[in-house]
A = this chain, B = another copy of it.
Amino acid sequence: MVTHIGLVGLGKMGANMRTRLRAGGIEVTGFDQNPEVSDVASLAELVAALPPGQRFVWVMVPSGPVTRGVVTELAGLLTDGDVVIEGGNSHFSDDSEHAAHLAPLGIGYLDVGVSGGVWGLENGYGLMVGGDAALVEAAMPVFDALRPEGPREEGFVHAGAVGAGHYAKMVHNGIEYGLMQAYAEGYELLEAKDIVTDVPGTLKAWTRGTVVRSWLLDLLVKALEEDPELGEISDWVEDSGEGRWTVDEAIDSAVPLPVISAALFARFASRQGASPAMKAVAALRQQFGGHAVKPAGGS
């Protein structure tokens, strides 16, 4: 069983995970481009620092080319029986490519979707893993150190074959979009109603006993305690990839996804200045009905 792993990528997430792993009794040798946080000077040094026998290297770098580059470099450093664990935000279709690249060298591959954000260091990370069962079993001490306290199955799953971990994480994030938008719409409705005079208090009152209680609700309550009118924040909302991938995947699978797609589109709309589509609708109304329009630049 693994007691010492390599960890590539010591950004906010990676650094926190190193801390939690060490606190959980796993020895970690970390590598990052940034020498100030790195334990070693190179990937080669990292691999060399791992104990003999089956070696595990956890990759936690930006998805896409950077991850691909690290996996490729590791392919040249690791040997038969070693294992790469890809824990970044990769699209699940990258995983089969990574696995296929490593398999001829006898190097195993696991993909892990990691949830928990900045709170994971303290609360533990929700982990969804894809890949070979024997490898999952061998890496279990690492997963146990990272996951939340409590029964293993409440914070960890071996979800399926290679790619299943990132797929599950993608769906998790898609759901997250829908949940956030549902709370947000309810919040706006409360704010719009004059008879409701304590909106932050109303949301706080939902945090125990109600059907809608959740961690996201707790966070919204916290945000409103810090800024009761959300006056310090704009309505500009970024999206991070997984939401888009979720809708893409729904389209590929012919699965109706009205709520999650609506949540995604609301984010797109939030980042637009003037909406070309709504300008077109305004223009149409003017054409057929002589309806007044607001000139551009009006308020």
Interface residues of A (CB under 8 A from B): 12, 92, 115-120, 123-128, 130, 147-150, 153-164, 167-168, 171-193, 195-198, 201-202, 204-217, 219-220, 222-224, 227, 230-239, 244, 246-272, 274-298
Can you list the 8 inter-chain pairs with the closest CB atoms, starting with the nearest?
Answer: A178-B182, A214-B214, A157-B205, A126-B210, A235-B278, A148-B209, A258-B262, A160-B197
Q: Which of B233, B251, B268, B276 contacts A286 (CB 8 A)?
A: B233
Cβ contact of A230, chosen from B117, B208, B279, cutoff 8 A: B279
Establish whether residues B276 and A187, one from each chain, have CB atoms under 8 Å apart when the complex forms.
Answer: yes
Q: A236-B298, A244-B252 are in contact. List 19 more A-B contacts (CB 8 A).
A: A154-B204, A158-B198, A159-B197, A172-B212, A178-B186, A179-B179, A181-B259, A181-B281, A188-B277, A211-B215, A211-B288, A212-B214, A214-B216, A220-B283, A232-B296, A234-B274, A235-B274, A239-B254, A256-B266
Minimum CB–CB distance from A192 to chain B (whole Å) comes to 4
| B282 close to A234 (CB less than 8 A) | yes
A191 surroundings in chain B (CB, below 8 A): 276
Using CB atoms, name the residue of chain B closest to A246.
B189
**Cβ of A230 to closest chain B Cβ, rounded Å:** 4
If A184-B281, A298-B234 touch, does A265 touch B260 (CB 8 Å cutoff)?
Answer: no
Q: Which residues of B contact A227 (CB under 8 A)?
A: 283
Given contacts A196-B167, A197-B164, A284-B223, contact A260 B185 (CB under 8 A): yes
Q: How far is the CA of A272 from the CA of B274 in the complex (A)?
A: 11
Is B256 a contact of A265 with CB atoms below 8 Å? yes
Give CA–CA (A116, B289) in the complex, Å: 8
Which B residues lie within 8 Å of A254 (CB)? 239, 268, 271
A235/B153 in contact, CB under 8 A: no
Least distance between A143 CB and chain B CB atoms (Å):
10
